[in-house]
Structure 1
């Protein structure tokens, strides 16, 4: 990504971030939910939700299987853990409980530690149904949430307007999604992301790789491009490329940090557009091109952030780097990329 375009996009991402103000109450700066945590996987939902908290969310909920919930509660008292995805319950009872929890959230992250059992996949399907009914909720999909999308693409299709959905597939997950939608995965990488995003109803996709490619299959509006930019086009809509240098070691859990930060940025951007922060001197954007493309901006900001976290973690730990090291670096890297030294910290939130 040309430096001018990169700087412009990061400035727009920074504009989504709410100021620190005593006039904001707890919850207004991000209520994030993570639906995952099956019997075998308790680490992934922790990394996603704690990554969101360290990034700046006010509240993080983990919605999981009871056994995983008991374990996750021992990791941190900062997380609100709902062990409601109990296989002994009827799906209708789970749906009722889920509906109450989702009503409290800005963004739901589906997939970290979800697993591929029929029960957990069905729980995720119900969560998608409820999120679709809530016209203000954003959704981030990763890991085995993408397995559900691969098998049943309709869960993310035909949402009203430009979908408030971001998919974060790795190389193999992206390839399987292309095959499901009958898209030739051997085509130029710059054409694949917009083609897949378009086929899925214009969801936003972060195609993770040596360079992250981001698209919703639509043309990128002028507001997201600086004058004279030479952004690339992928045939079916423009693409954004995130090529910030990352670390040289890939560890399980880095994608969970990405999903958490993506969720927070989408929550902040969505609330900014709704005018939630107007009373603290942060009015909503007047440009429709910005207001309608919060998922694209959230995806680009989170991609840049995650690649930088990986780089800093590798600089510090080298081959011994693990995801726990990255959680500890979320705060410092946030300040490096998005810090606002002029903001009031004052008395905090009520």
Structure 2
């Protein structure tokens, strides 16, 4: 269901373990990397015969990968020219081995002299293909003045040719996905063995281009011995959803309760309920103050409504009406349109205790805290301590900032660190929404590779909460339900981009896209 997403340090440790503990030769891993780079280049660019290929090779393993690729390009009938940043005598071990092989095979290899690297690069005949083998994932800190000059020159050349980056665009921070301060802008990046964390983050997309991971022969046991703290969501998550049985009826397809809606704020609860139905829930009930019952039900014949309390607001007597019904439901969402007044805060404060009572009665109902529920949790952190460990929290960056007591800019600057900070003190499932949504519990983060601007519309988060609830209601564990919900929701955004390329879609259309996306991607 997930692919590894190591940090540069984790990847370096895997490489070292493969050589030290398994006896693999570094020369073999480098050969495999160059071979895979050729396959990716051939598929992305097309026939290579006659193509002028300029390869910029740095002083480390990334340069060694470029030497392998240059040698193999000769076999394709291409015309490779390698410009390397170290003198030949400065290369060691596997990189030197492959530099010598490339030269013996006939590849033109020339040293880029310090201080004249930019002029030498710009003096080359305009290439058809530019290969970035300068730094890869091994860089740390800001680019040196010499490296920055090279990156700028490569970007100038790259404006008129195809650009392939080996492992990671030079200048891109492998942890944060930010340029330091500039990075090569590639059309395609081939990631050896696995994408690195920084390359998979949405802010890296203008530099990475299309990210193509390719295996290079590292044993699975290497990863199992030192698993990464981040993984990437994949389409395999749809395997959690089994094909519907012929005898399935609505009572066995999951019953979702949405607790939300208040005066003037009923649309959020309606969207959440609609999404739960479109994601396959057999039954959906919206629980709301009795005074807004008609407004919640209006125009939605497919949902049931449960009037709570006696007025227009969420008051403690709403809880008295709710507790006897909790055994009916397979999943609960609380928060969409709940409101931010004191009455809603008082109601939410009673909610964990109500769930404790339901557990005592044998009703283990998973719950999602969304929207206004998260606002009240931030205002009253004591409630957080009472939440069950399998609760799912779905904050957007602003809500995450309130929960952590920090600025939204700080959250967005390093979303992974913000998520880890929250998870270090909270055992629940966190879903940090936004481009590159993060789902986490404990030490492990799950990153969505999907960036879909069509999801940037009011009500999109309510739809996501409904999707996750429908999956929970099928009996999927909360962490996996959140991961699948995020991935499915993201694919809906991509699908809507086909119809609405300039955006303009509604949140209801995200919900209506759910079964169509499932048809295209689910194994059933």
Q: What TM-score range do you get, normalising by the shorter chain?
A: 0.7 to 0.9
Match of residue 228 from structure 1: none
CA–CA distance in structure 2, aligned partners of residues 261 and 131 of structure 1: 22
Match of residue 488 from structure 2: 305
Please give the secondary structure, in 2, of the residue aligned with 1:206: strand
Distance 1:189 1:6, change over 3 A: closer
Distance 1:84 1:189, change over 3 A: same
Please give the secondary structure, in 1, of the residue aligned with 2:305: strand
Please give the secondary structure, in 1, of the residue aligned with 2:465: helix
**Range with bigger deviation, 69-78 or 120-129:** 120-129
Structure 2 unaligned blocks of 5 or more: 6-194, 196-212, 215-230
| 8 Å contact kept, 2:419–2:440 | yes
CA–CA distance in structure 1, aligned partners of residues 440 and 484 of structure 2: 13
CA–CA distance in structure 2, aligned partners of residues 30 and 249 of structure 1: 26
| 8 Å contact kept, 2:309–2:321 | no
**1:187 Cα offset (Å):** 7.4
**1:58 Cα offset (Å):** 0.6
Please give the secondary structure, in 1, of the residue aligned with 2:285: strand
Match of residue 215 from structure 1: 440
1:306-325 equivalence runs, <5 A: 306-317=489-500, 318-325=502-509
**Range with bigger deviation, 117-126 or 238-247:** 117-126
Match of residue 450 from structure 2: 244
1:76-225 equivalence runs, <5 A: 76-87=300-311, 91=315, 93-135=317-359, 136-159=364-387, 163-179=389-405, 185=411, 188-200=414-426, 202-216=427-441, 218=442
Please give the secondary structure, in 1, of the residue aligned with 2:405: helix
| 8 Å contact kept, 2:276–2:467 | yes
Residue of structure 1 aligned with 2:518, choices 307, 316, 334: 334
| 8 Å contact kept, 1:85–1:120 | no
TM-score by length of 1: 0.75
Match of residue 343 from structure 1: none
CA–CA distance in structure 1, aligned partners of residues 276 and 488 of structure 2: 12
1:9-28 equivalence runs, <5 A: 10-11=235-236, 13-28=237-252
Supply the RMSD in Å over aligned alpha carbons.
2.7
**1:26 Cα offset (Å):** 2.8
Please give the secondary structure, in 2, of the residue aligned with 1:209: coil
| 8 Å contact kept, 1:66–1:83 | yes
CA–CA distance in structure 1, aligned partners of residues 460 and 451 of structure 2: 15
Structure holding more strand per residue: 2
Distance 1:16 1:134, change over 3 A: farther
CA–CA distance in structure 1, aligned partners of residues 313 and 513 of structure 2: 39
Of structures 1 and 2, the larger Rg is shown by 2
Q: Which has the higher contact order (CA 8 A, sep 6+)?
A: 1
**1:249 Cα offset (Å):** 5.8
CA–CA distance in structure 2, aligned partners of residues 159 and 146 of structure 1: 12
CA–CA distance in structure 1, aligned partners of residues 264 and 385 of structure 2: 30
TM-score by length of 2: 0.51
Please give the secondary structure, in 2, of the residue aligned with 1:245: coil
Q: Tell whether 2:255 aligns with 1:31.
A: yes
Q: Deviations over 1:43-71 (max 9, x none)?
A: 11011011000110011010112343212
Structure 1 unaligned blocks of 5 or more: 219-236, 271-293, 341-350
Please give the secondary structure, in 2, of the residue aligned with 1:50: helix
Q: Deviations over 1:159-198 (max 9, x none)?
A: 56xx121111111111111118xxx858732222122123
